[in-house]
């Protein structure tokens, strides 16, 4: 009985070994078969290295012009980043009196009632814009932004004509035009004073 089992195991091992040898022969005869083959990988190619900024030639390059001249900056110089603010939307549907048309590059700014503090501005892009109107900074002694209840006063800078216009009247689709923290205003129409 022991010898019979031993004989079965030996026959199994021989059969298994023969089957494995046959499989190996088949894979070497058929190189397209992925079973049991090891493909030789191509030699790595060197990728050209981009020069560092310091390694570039000594030739001087002319900087490309940008849409906004950063040297001159915007026309209106406004207070930013106080604790309180409100947002004012001026849309492509906002009506402006007379034949005045906003063009890309023009600026719309909001001022305090005395007109000496610019509390926010935005450059017109031909699309809807939102002006953030900043409140007074409580960390400073002077008034440097809008105070609750201040009426919003607007000015427009015509960039192509290099002219500032006062806005004498504003109609709102949303809001009453008096500054409050987190206020939301939508301007429906602006009347230009000195056009």
* Per-residue tens of pLDDT for the chain, all 195 residues: 544 444 454 444 455 445 544 544 554 455 554 554 445 545 555 544 544 444 444 444 433 333 334 345 689 888 677 789 999 999 999 998 877 889 999 999 999 999 999 999 999 999 999 999 999 888 888 888 999 999 999 999 999 999 999 999 999 999 999 999 999 999 999 999 876
What is the rounded distance in angstroms from the CA atom of residue 60 to the CA atom of residue 62?
7
Q: Are 161 and 194 in contact (CB under 8 A)?
A: no
pLDDT of residue 49: 52
Q: Which of 169, 162, 174 is nearest to 189 (CA)?
A: 169
Three-state DSSP at 22 gives helix
What is the rounded distance in angstroms from the CA atom of residue 149 to the CA atom of residue 179?
5
pLDDT of residue 140: 85
pLDDT of residue 177: 95
CA gyration radius for the chain? 38
The domains located in the chain, with CATH, are 85-192 (2.60.40)
């Amino acid at each position: 009985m022991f010898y019979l089992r031993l004989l079965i195991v030996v026959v199994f091992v021989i059969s298994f070994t023969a089957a494995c040898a046959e499989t190996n022969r088949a894979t070497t005869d058929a190189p397209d078969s992925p079973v049991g083959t090891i493909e030789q990988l191509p030699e790595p190619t060197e990728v050209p290295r981009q020069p560092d900024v310091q390694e570039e030639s000594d030739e001087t390059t002319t900087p490309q012009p940008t849409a906004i001249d950063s040297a001159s900056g915007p026309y209106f110089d406004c207070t930013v980043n106080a604790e309180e603010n409100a947002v004012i939307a001026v849309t492509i549907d906002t009506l402006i009196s007379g034949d005045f048309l906003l063009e890309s590059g023009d600026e719309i700014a909001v001022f305090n009632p005395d007109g000496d503090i610019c509390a926010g501005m935005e450059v017109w892009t031909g699309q809807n814009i939102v002006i953030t109107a900043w409140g007074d900074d409580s960390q400073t002694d002077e008034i440097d932004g809008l105070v609750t209840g201040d009426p919003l006063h607007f000015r427009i800078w015509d960039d192509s004509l290099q002219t500032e216009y006062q806005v004498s009247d504003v109609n709102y689709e949303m809001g009453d035009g008096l500054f409050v923290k987190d206020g939301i205003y939508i301007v429906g129409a602006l009347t230009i004073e000195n056009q």
